[in-house]
């Protein structure tokens, strides 16, 4: 605890010091003028002087102006100043209080009054110091909290970005309704659909073509082809099921039922034959097969799970592609019945289908009446 005594009279400084020392205030600093007081404060850490007893009337800079300058010094604005005056002139005291003084005592000082005012001033100083310390602690806590919140916000943003990536990846594997169902109720997902149209599209003689190019070129070519098919499936609102080598499987009418499932698949098939020549200089040809009927759809597997279809409808659609011709869309009688009012067909007649025997099939034509 340090008290600064500022008075141009050495006698007055000694009187104040003796009264204070009796009560245990031993760290006493002396200054004979305002300038010396400023030098003393500047040499010490801000706030390390707990109290200033300042003579009101001093040659040069008086106590009132000195008090105002002390209050303006960074770090010293909360240091209490008690004015020591030989009179109780009201106007002088008003000016002193306006300059920042907190109290005053009359010369010659009364020991009881002096000590009472000193204790009061020091108590206020310590309370202010404690409040400021708590404020600093709160500011530090708030700063740390802001850092934590900012870090949490960053982590939340990263988590949201990862969730978006995961959601996008999941939707690349599963239809949205199926993905939502799995998130709500993990486990086996299986559902029967009574009316869908399944399409298989295969690149004709792709194995022979792939034998003459590098593995990287094979993958890049397939990626270009299947990216086109993906765009067409999205365009017509169809569900891609999977690729098998150079074959592409898509279905209309699930996971959400739609009455125009056969029409949507037929339009995609026609688009494939129209747009495939734009890839690889027109060297690629597709064989396409369609069949309509019921299927069972569901998710199998625990790790690398897949959404797949089962049933005769799938097998027959695959056979339509296998037994088809290059650049031809072959459909079964079931699909023909669904499409005949809207498209032109050429009847192929009965062909032998493994496991089914003879089946009547048709070629889906374009508007000009020639085989597509």
Whether 154 is covered by a domain: the verdict is: no
* DSSP-assigned beta bridge partners for residue 197: 252, 292
pLDDT tens for residues 324-345? 999 999 999 999 999 998 899 9
Provide the angle, in degrees to the nearest 10, between the axes of the packed helices 176-184 and 111-173: 130
How many other β-carbons are positioned within 10 Å of the β-carbon of residue 118?
Answer: 23
- CB environment 297-311: b (16+ within 10 A), e (fewer): bbbeeeeeeebbbeb
pLDDT confidence of 371, banded at 50, 70, 90?
Answer: very low
Q: Both 92 and 204 in a single domain?
A: no
Whether 298 is covered by a domain: the verdict is: yes
Q: Both 98 and 11 in a single domain?
A: yes
CATH number at residue 226: 3.30.70.1230
> Who contacts 338 (Cβ-Cβ below 8 Å, separation ≥6)?
197, 262, 263, 292
* DSSP-assigned beta bridge partners for residue 239: 251
Q: Both 189 and 49 in a single domain?
A: no
What is the DSSP track for 181-222?
Answer: HHHHS-S-EEEEEEEEEEEEEEETTHHHHHTTS-HHHHHHHH
Is 83:103 a contact under the CB 8 Å cutoff? yes
How far apart are the C-alpha atoms of 71 and 65, rounded to whole Å?
10
Whether 355 is covered by a domain: the verdict is: yes
pLDDT confidence of 368, banded at 50, 70, 90?
Answer: very low
pLDDT tens for residues 69-92? 999 998 898 899 999 998 767 788
* Statement: the pTM of the whole predicted model exceeds 0.75: no
Q: Both 205 and 285 in a single domain?
A: yes
Q: Both 123 and 207 in a single domain?
A: no
CATH number at residue 34: 3.40.50.2300
**154-165 average pLDDT score:** 83
pLDDT tens for residues 260-303? 999 999 999 999 999 999 988 888 899 999 999 999 988 866 66
> Who contacts 287 (Cβ-Cβ below 8 Å, separation ≥6)?
201, 202, 204, 321, 322, 324, 325, 326, 327, 328, 330
Q: Both 193 and 313 in a single domain?
A: yes
Return the SS3 of 345.
Answer: strand
Instruction: Provide the domain limits for residue 91.
Output: 3-133
Q: Which of 105, 133, 161 is the last residue of a domain?
A: 133
The percentage of residues in the chain with a pLDDT greater than 70, rounded to a whole number, is 90
Q: What is the DSSP letter of 365?
A: B
> Who contacts 366 (Cβ-Cβ below 8 Å, separation ≥6)?
270, 344, 372
Q: How many domains does the structure of the chain reveal?
A: 2
Tell me: pLDDT of 194 over 60: yes
Whether 51 is covered by a domain: the verdict is: yes
Return mean pLDDT, the chain: 88
Is 179:239 a contact under the CB 8 Å cutoff? no
Residue 296 burial class via C-beta count within 10 angstroms: exposed 0-12, middle 13-18, buried 19 and up? middle
Q: What's the pLDDT score for residue 190?
A: 72
């Amino acid at each position: 605890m340090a008290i600064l005594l500022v008075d141009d009279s050495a006698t007055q400084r000694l009187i104040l010091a003796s009264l204070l020392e009796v009560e245990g205030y031993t760290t006493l600093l002396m200054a004979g003028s305002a300038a010396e007081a400023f030098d003393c404060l500047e040499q010490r850490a801000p706030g390390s002087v707990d109290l200033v007893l300042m003579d009101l009337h001093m040659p040069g800079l008086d106590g009132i102006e000195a008090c105002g300058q002390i209050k303006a010094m960074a770090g010293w604005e909360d240091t209490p100043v008690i004015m020591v005056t030989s009179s109780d002139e009201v106007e002088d005291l008003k000016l002193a209080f306006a300059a920042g003084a907190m109290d005053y005592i009359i010369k010659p000082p009364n020991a009881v009054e002096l000590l009472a005012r000193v204790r009061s001033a020091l108590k206020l100083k310590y309370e202010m110091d404690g409040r400021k310390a708590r404020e600093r602690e709160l500011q530090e806590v708030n700063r740390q909290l802001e850092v934590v919140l900012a870090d949490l916000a960053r982590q939340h943003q990263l988590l949201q970005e990862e969730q978006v990536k995961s959601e996008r990846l999941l939707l690349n594997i599963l239809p949205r309704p199926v993905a939502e169902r799995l998130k709500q109720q993990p486990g086996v997902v299986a559902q029967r659909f009574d009316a869908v149209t399944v399409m298989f599209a295969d690149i004709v003689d792709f194995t022979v073509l792939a034998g003459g190019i590098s593995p990287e070129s094979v993958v890049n070519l397939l990626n270009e082809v299947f990216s086109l098919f993906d765009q067409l499936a999205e365009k017509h609102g169809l569900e891609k099921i999977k690729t098998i080598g150079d074959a592409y499987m898509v279905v209309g009418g699930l996971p959400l039922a739609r009455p125009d499932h056969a029409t949507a698949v037929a339009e995609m098939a026609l688009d494939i034959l129209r747009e495939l020549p734009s890839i690889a200089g027109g060297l690629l040809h597709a064989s396409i097969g369609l069949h309509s009927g019921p299927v069972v759809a569901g998710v199998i597997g625990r790790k690398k799970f897949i959404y797949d279809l089962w049933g005769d409808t799938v097998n027959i659609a695959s056979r339509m592609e296998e037994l088809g011709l290059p650049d031809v869309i072959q459909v079964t009688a079931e699909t023909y019945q669904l499409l005949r009012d809207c498209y032109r067909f050429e009847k192929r007649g009965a062909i032998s289908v493994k496991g089914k025997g003879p089946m009547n099939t048709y070629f889906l034509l374009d508007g000009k009446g020639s085989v597509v």
